[in-house]
Homo-oligomer: A and B are copies of this chain.
Amino acid sequence: MATIHDVAREAGVSIATVSRALNGGPRVNEATRRRVLETAAALDFRPNHAARGLATGRLGNVGVLLPDVANPFFGAVLAGIARASQERGFGVFVADSREDATAEPELAGRLSQQVDGLVLVAPRMSDDDVRSYAARRPTVLVNRLVDGVDGVAVDAAQGMSDLLAQVALLGHRTVCYLDGPAASRAGTAKRAGLSAAAEQYGVDLHVEQSQAPTFAAGRAAAQRVLDSGCTAAVCFDDLLAWGVLTRVRELGVSVPDDLSITGFDDSLEEGMVSPGLTTVSARNREMGTIAAGMLERRLRDTTLGPATEVLRCNVVVRGSTAALNSRRR
Contacts and interface: CB of A to CB of B under 8 A. Distances in A.
Contact of A48 (B70, B91, B113, B246): B113
Contacts of A309: none
15 contacts: A46-B109, A50-B51, A50-B59, A50-B114, A69-B69, A69-B75, A69-B78, A69-B79, A70-B75, A70-B78, A72-B75, A83-B96, A214-B269, A246-B271, A247-B271
Interface string A236-256: 000000110011000000000
Interface residues of A, number: 52
B82 A86 contact: no
Interface in A90-106: 91-96, 98
A242 B78 CA distance: 26
A246 B219 contact: no
Contact of A243 (B69, B113, B271): B271
Interface string A209-231: 00000111001000000000000
B91 A92 contact: no
A72 B74 CA distance: 10
A92 B95 CA distance: 7
Among A47, A49, A247, the most chain B Cβ lie within 10 Å of the Cβ of A49
Contact of A93 (B69, B76, B93, B247): B93
A53 interface: yes
Contact of A95 (B86, B271, B272): B86
Nearest to A48: B113
